[in-house]
Structure 1
Amino acid sequence: MTSAQQSYRVGVDIGGTFTDVALEHNGHLFSTKILTDYGGPERAILKGLQIVCDNAGIPLNRIDVIVHGTTLATNALIERSGAKTAFITTAGFRDVLEMRTENRFEQYDLNITLPPALIDRADRLVVRERMDADGQVLLPLDAQSVAEVVEQVAARGYESVAIGLLHAYANGAHEVQVRDALLQRCPDLSVSISSEVAPQFREFERFNTVCANAYVKPVIKSYLDRLVLALRELGIGCPVYMIHSGGGIIALEHAAEFPVRLVESGPAGGVIFAQDVARRHGCASVVSFDMGGTTAKICLVENYAPKTAKTFEVARTYRFRKGSGMPISIPVVEMVEIGAGGGSIASVDALRQVRVGPRSAGSEPGPACYQRGGTEPTVTDANLLLGKLDPDNFAGGSLALSPPDAGEAVDRKIASAINVDTDTAAYGIVEMVDENMANAARVHAVENGKDIGEFTMITFGGGGPLHAARLCEKLGIDSFVVPPGAGVGSAIGFLRAPFGYETVRSSRISLASYDAAAVRRLLEGMREEVLNFVASMESDSRTTFECTAFMRYVGQGWDIPVRLPPEVFELGDVARIAESFRQAYAAFFGRTIDGLDMEIVSWSFRASTPTVESARVPPPSETRQVTATASRRLFDQASRTFVDAAVIERESLKPGDRISGPAVIVEPETGTIITSPFDAVIQADGCILATRR
């Protein structure tokens, strides 16, 4: 990759409502938002590339690098719109996907709704074989059963096949044999095996992950092929990279082979964006708040590093309830994501209570005010009626909004149902979505043992700056930051991401009988895997390595991450490993347990290029009050009344300028609402720092 200071680099984020494009060159940013094209997502990208290149005054063929993130894999899983897929597993374990973990995530709900298995029972096939937990063959792979399964797959016309055999994380030889037999009979078949996709123990999670990979693989590969072809037809022959769920950059070929790693790619870019801003402003404890058209994402960033995990859930049937979704075992930036975006649809339930989401109007047909056929009231419609949005200057003026259409939708579906006026109904919609997001942030912080009131919020996305002040009021947070380019924050975050790859493997090792030689062999294999990946990226930067052991007391059912230099594990420094585990355990649970042995159950090995260190931004030496020349009617949620709010163009502001709420700071891709309890000061790098008086 060429130097960021000399190249034209583009970040592209496909969201559920908007496709964001950001072009960066020598510190100058050109960006745009285009409505996502569901029928051909690449078409919105091409349109956005043309706009930013025209604004920058360069031809399309001057683009040097494109870094891309997308929600297409996530949407395919949520909407069940992937390929016709079969799942092959060990005889006797066909129903693991259906049985799940037998955990009742909602104990007292007699009508509990479990997510349906991704692969129907009729499409789950079995072969006779058995490995033990150490990877030793207990029952050789039966050739006859393999031949029968291969013929079934060929006869039924599957597009993709997932293979997940018992204990294949310890020895994947049988999975490879089944794959070879399938490809010999059906050479064009898409095949995924769990020992490559997710070599981790816990069969339910591993089986789900390989099924998810196989399910979206043909969809993602077809999209990526179309995208590359469309770019070449426009004369854009630069490298195209993808952002993965762990926050690193991977090649298109790897993304096409392991598309399940793209499931949280867009949100991960947003967290990288917040991480970069946190470094510049010296904010060690940050809550990243990203609100787009379809969802809101919240993540804790401490000591300039986001929370990470080796598993997460997609498509939860119960909001905030762990266990109610589809588990995916891949390295991921840990965040909470809820259906609370600008396009989230409002309704009134049987108890005459206002509900918002998770259904979204998306970009087709979109909110009622878009005038594209939508009739359902959404958060965007409510924001428009409350004065948070300018109907003539939305998305840089590319889309005119209709207040009458918004009012009609809110009045017909909400106001008339609960017998209130239209403005009150709009206030109820916005207040409900704000409370949903605040509640999600509270739950996320409590689950991590944190007091969210001690954090600084960094907000972005098209809707984040509109709602950040009210969220801070609800959460007891005293300040929030709105960076330049906040409306396309995830796309900018892609340009800050390092080349990086992380692999996770399960291998149980007790500290009482620690085998340093076995650990060295394991980590050497993982190091070779990540180095081969980084070498394929043609990066000219040095590579750094991180190793994380997932540990627990022997007999416990779950584990916690312990990060140490790889050489500590390779040399067998058991005392240091044990002490690090005790410290991590105490941080999670407040105390340690005496007299119990400890064990490592899984390992994570990550290689990445260093992130670019951003210079620290000093606060302005003095501030001066800005007098606005324009104003508009704005509903101030803090005082629960309409006020005459100052309207100020962001591009007119200079470092040190102070704006007192209530006010609206407008820019092409979003707007920042400064409620009455806050003052905002423009920082040296153009960030808006709003602080409670």
Structure 2
Amino acid sequence: MEQDIRIAVDIGGTFTDIEILDAGTGAIHQIKTPSTPKDPSVGLLTGIRQASDRFGFPLAAVQYLLHGTTIATNAVLERKLPLGAVVTTAGFEDVMQIGRHGRKDVYAITLEQPEPLVARRFCFGVEERVGADGRVIAPLQEEGVRRIASELAEAGVRSVAVCLLHAYANPTHERRVGEILSHMLPGVAISLASDISPEIREYERMSTTALNALLVPIVQSYTDRLAGRLAEEVPQTQVYLVQSNGGVSGLAKAGREPARLLLSGPSGGAAAARRLSAELGEPNLVAVDMGGTSFDVSVVHDGVVSMVNEGEVDGLPVRLPMIEMRTIGAGGGSIAWVDDGNRLRIGPHSAGADPGPACYGKGGTALTVTDANLLLGRLDGKSFMGGAMPLDREAARRAAETVAAPLGLSVDRTAAGVIDVANSALAMAIRLSLFEKGLDPEDFAMLSFGGAGGVHACEVAEELGIRRVIFPAHASTLSAWGILWSDIAHDLSATQIGLFDDLAPGLGATASRLVTEAEALLAEDGVAPAARRFEWAVDLRYAGQAFDLRVPLDEADFSAAGVARASAAFHALHKQRFSYDEPEVPVEIVALRLKAVGALAKPVPARQAAGSAKPAVQSRPVHGRGAAVDTPVWERDAIGTTDPVSGPAVVEEPYTSIYLPAGWSIVTHSAGALIADRITAQ
């Protein structure tokens, strides 16, 4: 039988995580390799070659490659973007510079607004006007568009975002502007707001469209380079890129709409959390992904991953559906430092992959969280990365001494302080992610994954009052595992503003139009009709409110009964989120949303056979809450399904380790995950 190999790749700031699925047998393998920031495709292909050699499959057998990437995010964060321009309705050329004047940090003495993506001198206005109801108020002056195109050509602009007022209601003028610019500016990336974000709020729509336009040359260059290399080495593979909504799309769409990739990598972890929630019977999970550079928090509540209609990158709004994620700069590579007040601080700057933490032996001299864990005995320098990358304990000690000296502390106490400060930051990020939704951490289990997460999870859970921590199989590469199980997904929307009851009779026709568009996209991806699925939602608000909430629908039912059900769900969600509701106030609809899913085939995972725990293989001194204690070290496979192992203990696997404090026990679930429960308060 011909092999069907599927590979999922999550390229992080420090390591590239790879999951390999043999669809014929259901066997799943994992591998990690250092990332190559200068060209991520190099690390990706290196990992695939290593996997081919280690697990014995020919590269020609790779049928699918599902790829999470941070290339779009990094380009924005580092502002390594091409020269771009904005074309908008005359009189609205200053929207990018004005932005929004809300204060997210009300205690900040000064307000620092993000630098606009496009300089004011490259924001051009054209004479035209469309009303909010879609009526043409003033015709488009095409000669003005041609004059702007000539100026853009002379300036050497590589990207243009076209964002006309109210084009979401009637895109005719915007599309005509796009046609003229495409004809006069061959090779220049043109993005239309009516294609990228056809929704109200001009600043958010313009920011999103400008981001997309500026990213097109960068992402297309990368995908072209990747496709060329894959054609040479993995010729049979079909490539999909992971989107911020947790689904995947083909290279063509990713090249046209790269703004949808801004949470590409982390969304794989949230997708994995949703699958594990059902598999483990844990409807409420707070999923925490701690890698080398960052700490990402997502939430599964009642079996559903939290989605938002708008996120942000580097303070810039992105008005696109995405998995709700909170990210802080706290990973294994986060650097410890002492501020002017002689306080120990962690991050957000990171040692990254090159040179990495001091213990990597690549020339790094700064003390990092990974160095601290090594000094405390929670990591074994000899078995790190399965023994392929031994750690230098003395280099870690030298790095710790530079921080310990100004603090007047010993090396061990400094390392313990680094862990305490890091754990507090992680706990705060989780608290905020739950509290802002009106949720209590004690009602949740924690799903811990990422290469650096296992040695922190139980202590962070204690600080939050969480009594159960789940360490999934392949924890170190779980985002890639989640990507492996992803489906093709396309988000479509239609702005519909007015009282829900009044607009309901016309929503059926709007829904039919969205379905037609979705069917075309799924057909482009080669998805068979039987594998297509549609998920509906509406954005609702109380009449007079300036914000709205996304309310999922079981079906596109806009009868009186369907509207009543959706309104009741909105009232309940509003009360959960803001502690009050107003059922007597009329409900307005803002947008109708459709998520079109093309399901990819998935094998049935194997279950864990019941068995008792095997003896610990060794022990070593490990610093817990106080002095070092001789602590047994277990291999992950030695933890049984029937006899829990009590802490303190260390559990090791090739790419990550777990630190189990005293007062906790751990056992293997039949699905392969390790379940740690808090049994006593310490």
TM range (shorter): over 0.9
Deviation at 1:618, TM superposition (A): 9.3
1:255 pairs with 2:254:
yes
1:562 pairs with 2:548:
no
1:417 pairs with 2:403:
no
SS at 2:341 equivalent: coil
In the TM superposition, what whole-angstrom CA distance separates every residue of 1:508-558 from its partner, at most 9, and x where no partner exists?
131342351x32232122112222112222234432212111111110111
Query: More displaced, 592-601 or 159-168?
Result: 592-601
Kept after mapping to 1: 8 A contact 2:334/2:351:
yes
Kept after mapping to 2: 8 A contact 1:281/1:618:
no
Deviation at 1:311, TM superposition (A): 0.5
The residue aligned with 1:318 is none
Deviation at 1:612, TM superposition (A): 7.5
Kept after mapping to 2: 8 A contact 1:284/1:301:
yes
Cα distance change, pair 654–612 in 1 and its aligned pair in 2 (3 A): farther
- Measured in 1, the distance between the counterparts of 2:420 and 2:603 equals 37
From 622, 627, 641, the equivalent of 1:634 is 622
1:337 pairs with 2:337:
no
From 336, 343, 354, the equivalent of 1:346 is 336
1:355 pairs with 2:352:
no
The residue aligned with 1:690 is 676
Cα distance change, pair 600–31 in 1 and its aligned pair in 2 (3 A): same
- Measured in 2, the distance between the counterparts of 1:90 and 1:357 equals 43
Kept after mapping to 2: 8 A contact 1:286/1:458:
yes
The residue aligned with 1:674 is 660
Q: Give the TM-score taking structure 1 as reference length.
A: 0.93
In the TM superposition, what whole-angstrom CA distance separates every residue of 1:618-647 from its partner, at most 9, and x where no partner exists?
9997x74543231122121xx232211111
SS at 2:173 equivalent: helix
Query: More displaced, 423-432 or 222-231?
Result: 423-432
Kept after mapping to 2: 8 A contact 1:509/1:515:
no
Specify the code of the residue in structure 2 equivalent to 1:7: D
- Measured in 2, the distance between the counterparts of 1:28 and 1:614 equals 9
- Measured in 2, the distance between the counterparts of 1:139 and 1:35 equals 56
- Measured in 2, the distance between the counterparts of 1:306 and 1:189 equals 37
Query: More displaced, 165-174 or 259-268?
Result: 165-174
In the TM superposition, what whole-angstrom CA distance separates every residue of 1:405-431 from its partner, at most 9, and x where no partner exists?
22222221x212212112211111121
The residue aligned with 2:507 is 519
1:299 pairs with 2:287:
no
Kept after mapping to 2: 8 A contact 1:678/1:692:
yes
The residue aligned with 2:536 is 547
- Measured in 2, the distance between the counterparts of 1:651 and 1:513 equals 60
Q: Give the TM-score taking structure 2 as reference length.
A: 0.95
The residue aligned with 1:29 is 28
1:646 pairs with 2:627:
no
- Measured in 2, the distance between the counterparts of 1:222 and 1:368 equals 34
- Measured in 1, the distance between the counterparts of 2:248 and 2:279 equals 22
Specify the code of the residue in structure 1 equivalent to 2:276: V
Task: Using the aligned pairs only, state the percent identity.
Answer: 34
The residue aligned with 2:446 is 457
Specify the code of the residue in structure 2 equivalent to 1:399: M
Kept after mapping to 1: 8 A contact 2:219/2:258:
yes
The residue aligned with 2:281 is 282
Cα distance change, pair 297–350 in 1 and its aligned pair in 2 (3 A): same
Kept after mapping to 1: 8 A contact 2:469/2:677:
yes
Unaligned runs of 5+ in 1: 316-324
The residue aligned with 2:477 is 488
SS at 1:236 equivalent: coil
Specify the code of the residue in structure 1 equivalent to 2:642: G
Kept after mapping to 1: 8 A contact 2:504/2:558:
no
In the TM superposition, what whole-angstrom CA distance separates every residue of 1:170-208 from its partner, at most 9, and x where no partner exists?
122222122211111121111111110111111111111
- Measured in 2, the distance between the counterparts of 1:115 and 1:172 equals 29
Deviation at 1:23, TM superposition (A): 0.4
SS at 1:213 equivalent: helix
- Measured in 2, the distance between the counterparts of 1:441 and 1:612 equals 34
SS at 2:216 equivalent: helix
Kept after mapping to 2: 8 A contact 1:361/1:374:
yes
The residue aligned with 1:319 is none
Cα distance change, pair 573–400 in 1 and its aligned pair in 2 (3 A): closer
Kept after mapping to 1: 8 A contact 2:26/2:603:
no
Kept after mapping to 2: 8 A contact 1:281/1:616:
no
- Measured in 2, the distance between the counterparts of 1:128 and 1:388 equals 65
SS at 2:241 equivalent: strand
Deviation at 1:45, TM superposition (A): 0.6
Kept after mapping to 1: 8 A contact 2:537/2:552:
yes
1:599 pairs with 2:585:
no
Specify the code of the residue in structure 1 equivalent to 2:535: E
Specify the code of the residue in structure 2 equivalent to 1:686: G
SS at 2:140 equivalent: coil
SS at 2:356 equivalent: coil
- Measured in 2, the distance between the counterparts of 1:611 and 1:597 equals 41
The residue aligned with 1:370 is 360
Cα distance change, pair 570–239 in 1 and its aligned pair in 2 (3 A): farther
In the TM superposition, what whole-angstrom CA distance separates every residue of 1:431-485 from its partner, at most 9, and x where no partner exists?
1111111001101101001001111111111112121111111111111111111
Q: CA RMSD in A?
A: 2.2
Deviation at 1:68, TM superposition (A): 0.7
From 1, 6, 9, the equivalent of 1:9 is 6
Q: How many residues align?
A: 676
Deviation at 1:666, TM superposition (A): 1.0
SS at 1:237 equivalent: coil
Kept after mapping to 1: 8 A contact 2:612/2:639:
no
- Measured in 2, the distance between the counterparts of 1:612 and 1:652 equals 32
Kept after mapping to 1: 8 A contact 2:608/2:671:
no
Query: More displaced, 469-478 or 393-402?
Result: 393-402
- Measured in 1, the distance between the counterparts of 2:171 and 2:560 equals 27
SS at 1:216 equivalent: helix
The residue aligned with 2:650 is 664
Deviation at 1:604, TM superposition (A): 1.0
Cα distance change, pair 106–140 in 1 and its aligned pair in 2 (3 A): same
SS at 1:514 equivalent: helix
Deviation at 1:282, TM superposition (A): 0.5
Query: More displaced, 288-297 or 176-185?
Result: 176-185
The residue aligned with 2:267 is 268
- Measured in 2, the distance between the counterparts of 1:611 and 1:468 equals 33
- Measured in 2, the distance between the counterparts of 1:150 and 1:472 equals 57
- Measured in 2, the distance between the counterparts of 1:44 and 1:416 equals 38
Kept after mapping to 1: 8 A contact 2:607/2:672:
no
- Measured in 1, the distance between the counterparts of 2:608 and 2:301 equals 21
- Measured in 2, the distance between the counterparts of 1:575 and 1:456 equals 33
- Measured in 2, the distance between the counterparts of 1:155 and 1:459 equals 53
SS at 1:212 equivalent: helix
1:529 pairs with 2:517:
yes
Spell out the pairing of 1:392-411 with structure 2 (5 A cutoff). Answer: 392-411=382-401
Specify the code of the residue in structure 2 equivalent to 1:407: R
Query: More displaced, 457-466 or 125-134?
Result: 125-134
Deviation at 1:613, TM superposition (A): 8.9
SS at 1:400 equivalent: coil
- Measured in 2, the distance between the counterparts of 1:479 and 1:7 equals 37
The residue aligned with 2:16 is 19
In the TM superposition, what whole-angstrom CA distance separates every residue of 1:494-515 from its partner, at most 9, and x where no partner exists?
1111222221232213134235
Specify the code of the residue in structure 2 equivalent to 1:408: R
Cα distance change, pair 571–226 in 1 and its aligned pair in 2 (3 A): farther
Cα distance change, pair 563–124 in 1 and its aligned pair in 2 (3 A): same
From 576, 584, 587, the equivalent of 1:587 is 576
SS at 1:225 equivalent: helix
Specify the code of the residue in structure 1 equivalent to 2:45: L
Cα distance change, pair 629–257 in 1 and its aligned pair in 2 (3 A): same
- Measured in 1, the distance between the counterparts of 2:559 and 2:5 equals 42
- Measured in 1, the distance between the counterparts of 2:613 and 2:644 equals 5
The residue aligned with 1:313 is 312
Kept after mapping to 2: 8 A contact 1:520/1:570:
no
Specify the code of the residue in structure 2 equivalent to 1:120: A
Unaligned runs of 5+ in 2: none
The residue aligned with 1:387 is 377
SS at 2:644 equivalent: strand
